[in-house]
Chain A
Amino acid sequence: MTKLPVAFYAGFLVVALLLAGVVSYAASSSPDGLDAVTQTGCQLDEAGEPVGGTCIAQNAGEHATAGSPLADYTVGGSEGTTGIAGVIGVLVTLVAAGGLFWVLRRRSSEDETPSRVE
């Protein structure tokens, strides 16, 4: 039996939670490289919606899950809740991905010859 590096896992998770829960408030709110390209050629209103000109973003539809309680990395659309939404996102991702990988993994019992024979 190999000992799992539980302390390392815990430290890694704490770093992710701090980044999503605290550091996220310092993130730039400017459009990212992709959005800057799709908005090129349009005038935007205060909400960042194209209102004039011609650009790729005009073809974009309203998001199908825009009514989600976590939409736009907020909790219920409330300002200042980005960190809470981020922490929820980290935990949900960990459970979803970790759960999938745990199910997919090779069981150690499959690989080891029985060593308990006395």
Chain B
Amino acid sequence: MEPHTDLVAMHMSDGIVNAPTSVIFGLVAVLGLALCVARARGDLDDRTAPMAGLVAAFVFAVQMLNFPILPGVSGHLLGGALCAILVGPYVGAICVSIVLLLQALLFADGGLSALGTNITNMALIGTFVGYGVAVALRRVATRSRGGLVVVAFVAAWVNTVVASLGFVLEYAIGGEGLALGTVFGLMTGFHALIGIGEGIITALTVGAVAAVRPDLVYLTRGAAPSLTIKDQGVRS
């Protein structure tokens, strides 16, 4: 009996691109994540480590929430910009990767041989492109909470569209079944719409965290006057 296999699958399955392409992007994912793990340590302490675990759990939850974009077509959060803004790009890319790994292992969502392409697109490209946009606009983000929310929206929209281009590249290298121009047009068109949803979710989430605990927003941390007053020399 075949259950409704494709109705809840959200990421690339095994066989969508050929084996050599899967291996290439598997290596890209391993190298990228190794760099992230090496750099993540500097961004993790007693306060941010639990926050990063919660951000990963939150991304897992929100990725389940497919929203309609066109008749018969839906979209869901990828989460790159959201993670990067809240916990930084290195920790953020690991957050998205853990979500993708657990989805493939436990929930039969995203092929095991496609983990490399899925991690490359959503965890590496999505997170670092989203972070790059957010950093480029950091002066707007640090001006006010409204500015931060706008930057979160823009970074998330760009992360979604550019991540979809990662698939187009992988398809160009090792996929078949549809004209490349059609794949490019449909992927970017759909993801320009999905990016609006990604932008709204990211803006709401970052805005809510910034309202309650602005010290837990990685992008703007350290921009506000530091509250860690050194008490050396105060006492006589």
The residues in A between 24 and 44 inclusive whose CB is less than 8 angstroms from any CB of B are 24, 26-41, 44
Partner-contacting stretch, out of B61-69, B132-140, B143-151: B61-69
Task: Indicate if the CB atoms of B3 and A30 lie closer than 8 Å.
Answer: no
Query: Could you count the A-B residue pairs with CB atoms below 8 Å apart for me: how many are there?
Result: 278
Whole-angstrom CA separation of A90 from B55 in the bound complex: 10
Complex: A85 Cα to B58 Cα, angstroms: 14
A-facing mask of B182-220, CB < 8 A → 1, else 0?
110011001101100000000000000100110010000
Is the CB of B26 closer than 8 A to any CB of chain A?
A: no
Asked if A102 and B66 make an inter-chain contact with CB atoms under 8 angstroms apart, the answer reads no
Q: Is B230 an interface residue (CB 8 A)?
A: no
A82 CB contacts on chain B under 8 angstroms: 64
Q: How many residues of B contact A (CB 8 A)?
A: 82
Among candidates A24, A36, A38, A66, residue contacting B64 with C-beta atoms closer than 8 Å: A24
Task: Determine whether the beta carbon of B58 is less than 8 Å from that of A106.
Answer: no
Q: Which of A67-102 contact B (CB under 8 A)?
A: 68, 70-74, 77, 82, 85-86, 89-102
Task: Return chain A residues, CB-CB under 8 Å to B49.
Answer: 98, 101-102, 104-105
Asked whether A2 and B8 contact (CB < 8 A) given A98-B54, A104-B41, the answer is no
Closest 10 CB pairs of A and B: A98-B53, A33-B190, A48-B6, A97-B56, A20-B61, A71-B108, A56-B177, A105-B44, A28-B74, A60-B13
What residues of chain A have their CB less than 8 Å away from a CB belonging to chain B? 2, 4-5, 8-9, 11-13, 15-17, 19-20, 23-24, 26-41, 44, 47-49, 54-66, 68, 70-74, 77, 82, 85-86, 89-102, 104-106, 108
B positions within 8 Å CB-CB of A = 2-16, 37, 40-42, 44-54, 56-62, 64-69, 72-76, 91, 94-95, 98-99, 102-109, 111-112, 164, 167, 171, 175-178, 182-183, 186-187, 190-191, 193-194, 209, 212-213, 216
